[in-house]
């Protein structure tokens, strides 16, 4: 079978034929002769025999207009150099033969599976079927490839490359070039570009550095510059996109895409197809902003699901943006992460690195990971949790000051809800707006603000200070304390019935508290439970009712009234004319600071035999007076004498 080598337009003299290194032995039988062709001009006829593996000689003869090559099935590299002084040459070559045309104006028409290096000059190359490799050189070249999987390096000239069928690859050379992809999947390669390029495979718009004056069409895959900052847009079909150095941005389309980001701090925007994204070195960012629903992304395990992420594969990302409107769930890594959410009610689980979390417009939740972290709540009602902290934290939602354990180096803003540590003793301050505050183990302190707050205390002995809004307080387990000290007026609270009214307590809900403080200046009514309670009145004329249990009652300033109820109660009158009510059957009470001729003791439901009174049951024990009425009923008045009490004791 003969394959055509066409020489036309001029007369030619072939100067030499050079074989590839390592193939000389296979071309041992080489001869060449001159012959005259038909026509008025003479030309050189070249005959050489290719032997070594095939005993039959395979001739190559050349005439002025019809020259033929027949080569072996193996692809041997042959360089054919034109004689010095030739101006233009037009050739067609077949079957794995490499032609080096050097620095002339050449036209070359190869056949199948060819290696072609045309050198400098303005060349025309058209390949046939087969997988061809073409190096166009530095001239202004025109290259047409056939139906194989071809590779074209366009060189530095003003080139035109038209790729045919097949999976083709063209390397841009930096001139003012035109590239057309043809059928199947074609790749345009700007990796040699001196700077970053912008390539839009959907609109065929290109700009920047080596792409600035190019024209492209029909490409499904692209390689960005080696060191520049590239911007690449995919199509609605399947794309392969590769970037290298530089901080690159890739906008994937809706097809089944593969994106491989190289070095640099790169970003990729998912397009909604079945996609694979590889982050590479640097701090890389994956964005699901355009997803029509919420996504779940774990940067540590590379697991993704939900909406546009449902069938994706990811790896090597440190930064992420969730969907624009969906409810996302995002998990960070043990390294530094940047996590961004937008609309929707999102959940973020930060890792242990130096993280930045920016929450958007929904009611979002973030769980702190323990690094030096920055959390911003955004709009909506946002929740920050320090549950995993190894120690107690102090968090002020109003001033955004944080300290202690995992919060020690954090920066926060824009949160309305918070959870303290799981086991530490936390101190948490609310805002003037609505807050939700939750504590768990440890002895915690909560200072509610003036909004519509919900405070849920955990298993420790916790304290909450009421802020004056319409609030709900749950003490949880442990011995918990609620304080209305800042209330502008007196309140009435019943710890047993879980009711509260008056001033700041007017619209509150309380439950599971064992201790209470009334207002600082108002007239309060404080009722305990059947268990152990602490009731504190402060200023104003307060009424304190301990009920059952061993209670501690503190009146403070004002004319206060005490009734410890059953149990061994301790009563602190404080300043003012106080009344201590002791009922028959109420066990043993102790009055700590009785003021002679100021305070009063009431004995209720006691009956004495004729000629007896309460003082018949009184004994001076050191500095104290002890009344022992029998049956376990006892009353101790500290720092008093029996004589001092004669005018201060009433039977009722």
Q: How confident is the model at residue 520 (pLDDT cuts 50, 70, 90)?
A: very high
Give the pLDDT score at 139: 80
Q: How confident is the model at residue 155 (pLDDT cuts 50, 70, 90)?
A: confident
22 assigned to some structural domain = yes
- What are the pLDDT digits (tens) for 429-448? 999 999 999 999 999 999 99
Secondary structure of residue 637 in the 3-state scheme: strand
CB atoms within 10 A of CB 605: 11
Instruction: State the Cα–Cα distance between residues 463 and 457, nearest whole angstrom.
Output: 8
66 assigned to some structural domain = yes
570 assigned to some structural domain = no
525 assigned to some structural domain = no
Q: How confident is the model at residue 523 (pLDDT cuts 50, 70, 90)?
A: very high
533 assigned to some structural domain = no
Which one has a higher pLDDT value, 463 or 12?
A: 463
- Is the pLDDT at 81 greater than 80, yes or no? no
- Is the pLDDT at 10 greater than 70, yes or no? no
- What are the pLDDT digits (tens) for 379-422? 999 999 999 999 999 999 999 999 999 999 999 999 999 999 99
Number of domains the chain contains: 1
What's the whole-number mean pLDDT along residues 609-625? 96
Rg of the chain on CA atoms, in Å: 46
What's the whole-number mean pLDDT along residues 190-219? 97
Give the pLDDT score at 118: 63
Of the given ranges (60-69, 137-146, 300-309), which has the lowest mean pLDDT?
60-69
Instruction: State the Cα–Cα distance between residues 53 and 59, nearest whole angstrom.
Output: 15
- Is the pLDDT at 272 greater than 60, yes or no? yes
Q: How confident is the model at residue 113 (pLDDT cuts 50, 70, 90)?
A: low
28 assigned to some structural domain = yes
64 assigned to some structural domain = yes
What's the whole-number mean pLDDT along residues 271-281? 95
- Is the pLDDT at 16 greater than 90, yes or no? no
Provide, for the chain, the percentages of residues in helix, strand and coil under a 3-state DSSP scheme, each rounded to the nearest 5: 5, 35, 65
How far CA 640 is from CA of 131, 599, 619, in Å, comes to 113, 12, 11
- What are the pLDDT digits (tens) for 300-320? 999 999 999 999 999 999 999
Asked if 485 contacts 451 with a C-beta cutoff of 8 angstroms, the reply is no
44 assigned to some structural domain = yes
Give the pLDDT score at 611: 87
User: Which H or E element spans position 643?
Assistant: helix 642-645
Instruction: State the Cα–Cα distance between residues 553 and 537, nearest whole angstrom.
Output: 8
**Structural domain span for residue 125:** 1-159
Q: How confident is the model at residue 131 (pLDDT cuts 50, 70, 90)?
A: confident
282, 250, 252: which is closest to 267 by C-alpha? 250
Give the pLDDT score at 119: 66
Asked if 358 contacts 366 with a C-beta cutoff of 8 angstroms, the reply is no
Give the pLDDT score at 140: 86
Asked if 274 contacts 291 with a C-beta cutoff of 8 angstroms, the reply is no
- Is the pLDDT at 323 greater than 70, yes or no? yes
């Amino acid at each position: 079978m003969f394959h055509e080598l066409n020489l036309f337009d001029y007369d030619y003299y072939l100067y030499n034929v050079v074989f590839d290194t390592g193939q000389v032995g296979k071309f041992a039988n080489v001869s060449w002769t001159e012959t005259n062709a038909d026509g008025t001009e003479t030309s050189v006829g070249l005959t050489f025999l290719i032997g070594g593996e095939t005993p039959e000689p395979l001739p190559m003869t050349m005439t002025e207009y019809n020259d033929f090559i027949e080569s072996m099935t193996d692809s041997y590299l042959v360089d054919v150099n034109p004689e010095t002084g030739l101006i233009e040459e037009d050739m067609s070559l077949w079957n794995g033969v490499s032609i080096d045309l050097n620095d002339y104006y050449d036209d070359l028409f190869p056949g199948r599976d060819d290696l072609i290096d045309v050198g400098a000059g303005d060349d025309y190359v058209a390949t046939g079927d087969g997988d061809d490799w073409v190096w166009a050189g530095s001239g202004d070249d025109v290259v047409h490839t056939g139906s194989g999987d071809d590779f074209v390096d366009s060189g530095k000239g003003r080139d035109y490359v038209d790729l045919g069928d097949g999976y083709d690859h063209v390397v841009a050379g930096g001139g003012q070039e035109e590239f057309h992809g043809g059928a199947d999947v074609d790749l345009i390669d700007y990796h040699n570009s001196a700077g970053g390029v912008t390539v839009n495979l959907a609109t065929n718009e290109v700009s920047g550095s080596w792409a600035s004056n190019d024209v492209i069409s029909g490409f499904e895959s692209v390689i960005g510059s080696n060191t520049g900052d590239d911007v690449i847009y995919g199509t609605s079909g399947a794309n392969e996109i590769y970037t290298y150095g530089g901080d690159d941005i890739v906008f994937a389309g809706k097809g089944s895409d593969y994106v491989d980001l190289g070095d640099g701090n790169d970003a990729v925007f998912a397009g909604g197809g079945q996609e694979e994204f590889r982050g590479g070195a640097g701090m890389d960012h994956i964005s699901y902003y355009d997803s029509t629903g919420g996504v779940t992304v774990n940067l540590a395990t590379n697991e993704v699901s939900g909406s546009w992420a449902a069938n994706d594969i990811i790896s090597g990302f440190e930064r992420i943006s969730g969907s624009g409107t969906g409810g996302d769930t995002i998990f960070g890594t043990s390294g530094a992460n940047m996590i961004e959410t937008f609309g929707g009610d999102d959940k973020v689980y930060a890792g242990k690195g130096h993280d930045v979390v920016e929450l958007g417009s929904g009611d979002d939740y973030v769980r702190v990971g323990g690094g030096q972290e920055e959390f911003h709540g955004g709009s909506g009602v946002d929740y920050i949790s320090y549950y995993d902290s190894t120690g107690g934290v102090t968090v002020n939602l109003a001033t955004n000051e944080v300290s202690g354990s995992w919060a020690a180096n954090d920066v926060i803003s824009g949160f309305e809800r918070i959870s303290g540590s799981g086991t530490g003793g936390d101190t948490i301050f609310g805002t003037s707006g609505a807050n939700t505050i939750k504590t768990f183990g440890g002895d915690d302190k909560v200072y509610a603000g003036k909004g519509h707050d919900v405070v849920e205390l955990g298993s420790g002995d916790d304290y909450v200070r009421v802020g004056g809004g319409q609030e709900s307080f749950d003490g949880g387990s442990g011995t918990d304390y609620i304080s209305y000290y800042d209330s502008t007026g007196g309140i009435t609270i019943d710890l047993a019935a879980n009711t509260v009214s008056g001033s700041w307590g007017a619209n509150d809900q309380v439950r599971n508290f064992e201790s209470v403080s009334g207002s600082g200046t108002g007239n309060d009514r404080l009722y305990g439970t059947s268990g152990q309670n602490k009731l504190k009145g402060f200023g104003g004329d307060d009424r304190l009712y301990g009920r059952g249990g061993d209670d501690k009652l503190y009146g403070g300033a004002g004319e206060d009234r005490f009734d410890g109820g059953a149990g061994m109660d301790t009563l602190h009158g404080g300043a003012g004319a106080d009344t201590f009510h002791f009922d028959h059957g109420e066990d043993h009470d102790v009055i700590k600071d009785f003021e002679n001729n100021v305070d009063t003791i009431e004995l209720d439901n006691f009956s004495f035999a004729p000629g007896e009174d309460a003082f018949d049951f009184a004994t001076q024990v050191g500095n104290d007076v002890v009344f022992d009425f029998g049956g376990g009923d006892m009353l101790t008045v500290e720092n008093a004498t029996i004589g001092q009490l004669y005018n201060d004791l009433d039977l009722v």
